Structure formats: structure tokens, C-alpha cells
Amino acid sequence: GQNIDQPTEMTATEGAIVQINCTYQTSGFNGLFWYQQHAGEAPTFLSYNVLDGLEEKGRFSSFLSRSKGYSYLLLKELQMKDSASYLCAVRDYNAGNNRKLIWGLGTSLAVNP
Amino acid sequence: GAVVSQHPSRVICKSGTSVKIECRSLDFQATTMFWYRQFPKQSLMLMATSNEGSKATYEQGVEKDKFLINHASLTLSTLTVTSAHPEDSSFYICSADDTESGVYEQYFGPGTRLTVT
């Protein structure tokens, strides 16, 4: 079956670095996505990994290890506006519909001053 | 690029009535759109995959006769909540693949908050 796990809540301090982990189990891995969602708003795309390694985009980086079924999102120089829910999602080409994403429950990050 | 709009952003309706929500891809063609529902402090729940020119594919447990989906063109999909009840009150969000990006990332509309009284 398909399963995605990520921590429910995390807290960090402004200016610090935080790492949000995501582990997944799929039969036909075809890419992993990270989205950010502020309360009451729709998700916005952050990053995409399909090959092993680190993808860096400004203050945000995402890492993938396909052999371990593991990814993390790294947020540097945290700002108050980074307080949001971070959603890990996996595309599985065996999911019956190879375009849909399998979503984790999200990690609620609180950035404190 | 890759902008998705949704209308209305908020709607209040009476129990038993129907509500139509529109999802449009503004600057790209979307052969596939997705409809999600999200309850407060919960994650996204995929309701159905909407395919242009064909029937939608519903997820298990989603009533296709209650949540009518029409994807008549490459830029427009609609979700109609029929005979709405208070338990249908939720945040409904659509998304679309941008196939030209090569990544098939999903771009989300801003969402529609439905309140059924």
C-alpha cells in the first residue's frame, strides 16, 4: 500500500534552521513534492525531487533518498512568515491514476521570535 | 505562469440547495484537474480526478451523484455539490497539472469555503 509519515508539529526560533522529515512507502515511486500551506489558504509548490540528492532553492532545500524512502525539507534563516503547514506528497505510478499525489497529513511549523 | 483560479471564494447556502464551484487554468491547458476537500486542521483529501472530455474518477467513499464534476474544456472544470447539508461545509480546492513544465507539479486554486446552513 501507500503510506506517508511526517511529524505533526514542530517549533523553531526565528533565524534558526529546521528540518522536516518525511518517510514514504509506495510501489511505484515517481517523484516527491513539498508544498507550503498557510492557514485558510491553498497549498503552494515548494520543491520537487525525483532523483537522489539535494535540491536547493533559496532558503529552502529538499533532499531525497529513494532507497530509504526518505525526504526532508530544510528551511534556513527562519522568518515568522514561515509559520505554516508543510505537506509532503508522493506520486505513485501504480496508484491507479498516475497523475495524482498521495499526501501526508502535514507538519505544522510554528516559528517563534 | 501556471495560475489557477476558483470561483466563488466563499459561498453560504441553505441545506438542500446545490452549489457550483468553478476552477479555471488561466495561462495553460489542463487535461487533468483535481478536486480536494479539506476540513479544519486536517490534510488534503482528494475527492476526484477530473479528465477533460471524459468522466471523472472518484476516490473511494466519495459519492459521485452528490459531487458532480464536469470538465468540458481544457481550461475549466466545475464541481457541483448537490443537495448540500451542513456536513458538506468545508474548504474545497482544485488543482491542475502543468504538463508543459515536465514536472507535472500541481498548481492550486485559492480554494472555496462552503458553509451550509
pLDDT (tens digit, 0 to 9) for every residue of chain B, 117 residues total? 678 999 999 999 999 999 999 999 998 888 889 999 999 888 899 999 988 888 899 999 999 999 999 988 889 999 999 999 999 999 999 999 876 666 667 889 999 999 999
Query: B21 and B13 in contact (C-beta within 8 Å)?
Result: no
Name which of A48, A100, A105 is nearest B34 (Cβ-Cβ). Answer: A100
CA-to-CA distance for A65 and B100, rounded, in angstroms?
Answer: 26
Query: B88 and B14 in contact (C-beta within 8 Å)?
Result: no
- Which CA distances in Å does B6 have to A2, B21, B25? 30, 7, 9
Phi-psi region at B2: left, alpha or beta (left = phi > 0; alpha = psi -120 to 50)? left
Query: Distance (Å) from the C-alpha of residue A101 to the closest C-alpha of chain B?
Result: 9
**Searching chain B, which residue's CA lies closest to the CA of residue A95?**
B59
Find the mean pLDDT for residues A85-98. 83
Name which of B97, B107, B108 is nearest A99 (Cβ-Cβ). Answer: B97
pLDDT at A38: 94
Query: Distance (Å) from the C-alpha of residue B16 to the closest C-alpha of chain A?
Result: 26
* Inter-chain touch B107–A45, beta carbons under 8 Å: yes
* Inter-chain touch A42–B42, beta carbons under 8 Å: no
